[in-house]
Amino acid sequence: MQNLNFIEKILFKTIVLTWVFYLFGALYVVGPVLGWSVAGIAFGSFYLGDKAIKASKMYNDIPIGVWIWTISMLGMLVVLWIGHTTNGLGVPATIKSTIGWAKGWALFPIFIFIGTTFKINREVIIRAYCVLGLTTLILSPIFLAAPFIGLPEKLYVSPLKVVGGPGPEFFAVYLYTLDPTAGARWQFFTPWSPFAGLIGVLSVLICAEDRNLFFKTAGIAAGTMMVFLTFSRMSLIGIVVCAGVGYGARLLTNKVAWSSAALLTSICTLVAGSLFNGVLTAIDKFHGARASSTRVRSTLQRIARERWANEAPFFGHGSVEPGSHLVEYMPIGSHHTWFGLLFVKGIVGVFMLAIPMLWTIFEAFIYTVASPRGRLSLGIMLAILFFSFGENMEMQVYMFWPALVLVGITMREIQEMRAPEEQISEQSEGRLLESA
């Protein structure tokens, strides 16, 4: 990649060096530091002018989607403070949770803001993901052979754990993990396997957009490998659903596609009974694939839902709480973004996430129907939504931040498409901060 501006170089190198950061146990630190630092550059450029930063081009007009995300996530912080106050959790716990918000929910609008504000070429992020995929393929034989040649599961925990985080696994370097039912599972550069499955799905979606056949193939191969070797059921479904909807949305304007859909619907009607039974059987097998995991997740969700409804319906409990042996000591409010929000931040917290997420999906869907460039953002948001029903997105945003930058870039493209040519010309001449 040539002729990159300052911000593009930072983002490109950070993504490409993911494995290096992982070996130092620094990924959990790099994501938030990068986000807040680059956002600081943006704000500095707004208030100090082009003398403060000459390396990037930046739009002054911020899309409405960024404002919706920003206001909603600030609202999430207010709800957090209310929950801590009403539940008497104390000042130290409130400060700790506020820092956690800055490393979690706050990164959603920050990275989307970065994508909309700086003149970042989407191909830079896509190519960086492909290079990361190529690195993953090169390193994969070591990880695949590890459990069969007697290497340990966990190599070490980085001293960087002193900065604090959800747990030591966020700073640990693993070769693999052993699951009682699935055997060896691989998590690559993430703290656990289903998390790696999400990154694998995002990798396939992002790398499929690269124009270079070699890098595209390497990226898709690496993402697919991550999906299958994590043995994550959600990943296997997600890679089909998220990619399928993104590409399928373009067919809404195709008459042949509508005719084919009508024919397919007629055929399905004739075999509806057998089809329904097949779906039920597939669902049973899906849940039975890792029955113990399904049981724990279901119990966690039930407890979170019941305690939310009976104890703190509006602003939640303020934080997760330790679970009993019934849920294998997993915290109540974990393993599910929406039930976690209900338990920790109540129904108000759920709306604080649902509103910006649904807005972004709707906007990306409309753009996808009009242009194939929208399908990437749509697929990314669908993947985040899909995995939110089994993972805590707040704890994982430090890893999938490049996807949010791409969502921000799409928001910028949508705004450019809506703006009259005269307005775009005016912005180009008078409102962009030119590269040095």
What single letter denotes the amino acid at residue 142?
A: I
Question: Burial level of 88, CB count in 10 A (0-12/13-18/19+)?
Answer: exposed
Q: What is the structure's pLDDT at 429? A: 42
Q: Which residue has the tokens 């193939």?
A: 217
Q: What is the pLDDT of residue 33?
A: 94
Please state the rounded mean pLDDT for residues 407-420: 83
**Residue 200: which of 220, 175, 177, 170 has the closest Cα?**
220
The per-residue pLDDT of the chain, averaged, comes to 80
- pLDDT attached to residue 424: 45
H helices of 118-229, in order, are 122-145, 193-207, 213-229
Q: What percent of the chain has pLDDT over 90?
A: 37
**pLDDT at residue 24, rounded to an integer:** 92
Q: Which residue has the higher pLDDT, 137 or 311?
A: 137
Q: Is 113 exposed, middle or buried (0-12, 13-18, 19+ CB in 10 A)?
A: buried
CA distance 118 to 6: 10
150 DSSP 8-state letter: T
Residue scoring higher pLDDT (11 or 285): 11
Q: What is the mean pLDDT of residues 323-337?
A: 67
Looking at residue 87, the DSSP 8-state letter turns out to be T
Between 289 and 408, the higher pLDDT residue: 408
The predicted model gives 178-189 an average pLDDT of 81
- Read off the pLDDT of each residue in 262-280 and give the average, rounded to a whole number: 48
CB 210 within 8 A of CB 126: yes
- DSSP labels, 199-253: HHHHHHHHHTT-S-HHHHHHHHHHHHHHHHHTT-HHHHHHHHHHHHHHHHGGGGG
Q: What is the pLDDT of residue 47?
A: 60
- The crossing angle, in degrees rounded to 10, of helices 6-16 and 27-48 is 170
Confidence (pTM): 0.84
Q: Report d(CA 35, CA 41) in Å as an integer.
A: 10
Residue 329 has pLDDT above 70, yes or no: no
> CB under 8 Å to 117, separation ≥6 — which residues?
42, 58, 59, 62, 408
Range of lowest pLDDT (175-179, 201-205, 257-261, 379-383): 257-261
The pLDDT of 293-311, averaged and rounded, is 76
Tokens of 78: 């207010």
Q: Which two tokens stand for residue 382?
A: 């669908």
pLDDT score recorded for residue 302: 80
pLDDT at 326: 62
Banded model confidence at residue 275, pLDDT cuts 50, 70, 90: very low
Q: Is residue 338 scored above 90 in pLDDT?
A: no
Best CA proximity match to 201, nearest among 232, 224, 231: 224
pLDDT exceeds 50 at position 306: yes
**CA distance linking residue 220 with residue 242, whole number of Å:** 14
- The two beta strands, 177-179 and 154-157, are unpaired
Look at residue 116 and tell me whether its pLDDT is greater than 70. Answer: yes
Q: Give percent of the chain with pLDDT exceeding 70.
A: 78
Beta bridge partners of 173: 156
Answer yes or no: is pLDDT of 412 > 80: yes
Reply yes or no on whether the pLDDT at 59 is more than 60: no
State yes or no: pLDDT of 288 exceeds 90: no
* 178 DSSP 8-state letter: E
- pLDDT higher than threshold 90 for residue 294: no
Residue 133 in contact with residue 224, Cβ under 8 Å? no
Burial class (CB in 10 A: 0-12, 13-18, 19+), 289: middle
Q: Tell me what the mean pLDDT of segment 68-83 comes to.
A: 93
